[in-house]
Amino acid sequence: MRLKPPHPGSLVALAILALVAGGFLALLQTGSEGSNLLAIGPYLLRVLAFSLIQAGISTILSLSFGVALALALTRRRFLGREPLLALLGTTMVMPTIVVVFAVLTVYGRSGWLAQLLIGFGIDAPLSIFGYPGILIAHVFLNAPFVAKIALDALGTVPAEQWRLASSLGFGPSQIFRHLDWPVLRAEISGLASLVFLLCFKSFAIVLALGGGPGRATLEVAIYEALKVDLDFARAASLSLVQIAICLTITLLLHGTLARPPVATTLRGAIPRPDAADRRLRALDFVVLSIGLLFIGPLVLSILTGFSHIGAITELDLLQALVTSLGIAATAATLACCLALFLGAAARNRRIVLRSPRTAALFDLIPSLLLAMPPFALTAGLYLIVRPFADPSLAGLALLPLINGLASLPFVYRSVAPRLMLAEERYGRLSSALGLEGLAKLRIVDWPLLQRPLGSAFALAMALSFGDFGIIALFGGAELRTLPYLLYERLGAYRFEEASAIGLIIVLVAFFLARLSGRLSYARD
């Protein structure tokens, strides 16, 4: 009996799992003589409590503000609405270290708000560190993202339902109960899980705005254990706790996001019957004004970098830019290749072999990567390669690898459905013609895959370009990216140069995000 070779996607899945398991085993083995969960009990409880509280409050504020903003935007049409929507869509790739700079510029001790208060004769000291700064930064990052997703969901209400609501004379409360709330309810659970997970794993914001060791998330605690104390056992113990919590949230997230798509109808813009209500008009005005006052100054603080571009024309900037682009392109390429292999394996299991449960395991692997603490995984892998490479070279190899794995969940959600669609449409025909491997990819899959794959590549590159995570471990004179250069300038209180660097990061991320959006919505 001749054994059939395994599908390449199966080998890729095993390689990812082996990589993750190997990294954590190396970490556990190195730190087996050190501290454990019992030894760090009080410290762990303090970090865990802070992580859960700040993530919970951030999630509630982001959801409340984001949903209110989405409802106001779906009811109103005004000049500048389209640029505002484009701005909301780019917050997903807004680098966190740039957000830190914006919060310090506006709400810092010598920031715009403090100067404004002094102008009114109020000389009250402002302290942005701790909960205030962290919550402002998290809401600034996540509320626009929530608003964008909720707004897209509200736009899927079928035209027939709006005509029926108009003919029945529905009031504002009935419209919200029967039309708006059902689509919002379908999105809120998944959004809440995702925002909570992002805030729970927050690193750069908490590291810069936490204000001391008393304000640390598990991610920051792992970083301090590795970078400051060199306590691998403590890092491994903290990582296990974070994995347990994040895995639980990720499994819930996987279940809520994997629901079947809702059928929609194509229609033009239909005026909402509740748009003329005076009370809603006043409420929407208040919500949009608060949104403008909250988001506007933070965005303007980033744009001030235009006037300081000339101050940073130095070799360090060019080197950091080239390094960031190279790492981002490599990470995006890796994420796309892994997504293609995993998606092809899931398709083969689901349609050809009629094994949907096994196919679901391939779908689950990218989601599981969301639960992995990147610092712990990186440290474990570094311990493996340390005997063979110097730290800067190891960092240069591990940065795109970890960033590529971090982008894989987002890339996979763009690529896998298109692979399924290609198989459903042309699978039997390609089998009859004997098309396999690269020939099938080029002739059958590529026409449906090229635009979502390009969109996913741009998105993965944007996510990696602005990342300030792993570079915090390996960054230095020999390895420096733009986010790390920005962090150095902030630490040296060179805010003018920091503003210019932050602007460059945002412009590149904005261009990549816009490119991703255009490719995503373009027709095949």
The predicted-structure confidence for 44-69, as pLDDT tens digits, reads as follows 788 888 888 999 999 999 999 999 99
pLDDT for position 226: 77
**How many other C-beta atoms lie within 10 A of the C-beta of residue 90?**
20
Task: Write 324-328 long-range contacts (CB < 8 A, 24+).
Answer: 324/465, 324/481, 324/482, 324/483, 325/465, 325/508, 327/396, 327/399, 327/400, 327/403, 327/464, 327/465, 327/481, 328/400, 328/403, 328/460, 328/461, 328/462, 328/464, 328/465
pLDDT for position 517: 66
The letter for the amino acid at 456 is A
Question: With pLDDT > 90 as the criterion, what percentage of the chain qualifies?
Answer: 10
What SS3 class is residue 67? helix
The predicted-structure confidence for 347-403, as pLDDT tens digits, reads as follows: 888 887 788 888 888 888 887 787 777 877 887 788 788 777 776 677 788 888 988
The predicted-structure confidence for 79-124, as pLDDT tens digits, reads as follows: 878 777 777 766 766 778 788 888 888 888 878 888 888 888 877 7
The predicted-structure confidence for 123-135, as pLDDT tens digits, reads as follows: 777 778 888 889 9
Mean pLDDT of the chain: 81
Q: Which two tokens stand for residue 26?
A: 């190396």
259 has a pLDDT exceeding 60: no
pLDDT for position 40: 64
> Largest Cα–Cα distance of the chain, in whole Å?
89
The predicted-structure confidence for 450-480, as pLDDT tens digits, reads as follows: 888 888 888 888 888 877 777 777 777 778 8
- pLDDT level of residue 138 (50, 70, 90 thresholds): very high
Say what the pTM is. Answer: 0.78
Query: Pick the residue with more confidence: 482 or 27?
Result: 482
- pLDDT level of residue 433 (50, 70, 90 thresholds): confident
